[in-house]
Amino acid sequence: MSPFERDLLDLLPRLRRFARSLARDATDADDLCQMALERALKAEGQWQPGTRLDSWMYRIMRNCWIDESRARKRRSETFVAEEAGATVGDDDARRIEARVDLGNVDKAMAALPDEQREVIALILVEGLAYKEAAEVLDLPMGTVTSRLARGRQALMTMLGEAA
């Protein structure tokens, strides 16, 4: 195993957590994580040793998510999902139970707009500096700061109501 691969393996828990914040679904997050790792392994020569591998991977993952979201949108406009008829006549008991089991923080994060959730995941969950998050998201620092402030306020409001 190369040092690059070993470093990727060490990052895996953080990558999975960021993927979960983007995808909101564990299965989709695992798929997203795999896509990002595949891209990173193919593009290993583009990574510059001495720079932050986590920031590079977060950017790759975010780009994978954007690509996947666009593809899903196109598919949804063309095809009806097979699952669309799976719950016809269902009393929704399983879905209600599943929602009850979700933690308050997960619910609150999921309710945030994508741009706020991304910033919160990178800065508050992953511990990136504001500047690093701005680079990953390709945004000005002021935009990152304001999205973080609005996201924090929204989380506090939602979690305050849950308490």
**Alpha helix positions (H), 24-103:** 26-42, 53-78, 93-101
Instruction: Give the span between the Cα atoms of 142 and 133, in whole angstroms.
Output: 11
pLDDT tens-place string over residues 136-146: 899 999 999 99
pLDDT tens-place string over residues 80-136: 555 555 555 455 555 554 444 346 777 888 888 989 988 998 888 888 899 999 998
Domains of the chain: 1-79 (1.10.1740.10), 93-163 (1.10.10.10)
Please tell me the predicted confidence (pLDDT) of residue 80: 52
pLDDT tens-place string over residues 12-32: 999 999 999 888 888 999 999
Beta-carbon contacts of 30 under 8 Å, excluding residues fewer than 6 positions away, are 16, 19
Fill in the DSSP letter of residue 49. Answer: B
Please tell me the predicted confidence (pLDDT) of residue 92: 59
Instruction: Give the span between the Cα atoms of 157 and 51, in whole angstroms.
Output: 37
Given a cut of 70, is residue 67 above it in pLDDT? Answer: yes
Stretch 53-58: mean pLDDT = 92
For the chain, give me the number of helices (H) and strands (E)? 8, 0
Please tell me the predicted confidence (pLDDT) of residue 97: 47
Stretch 37-60: mean pLDDT = 91
Q: Locate tokens 């009393």: which residue?
A: 91
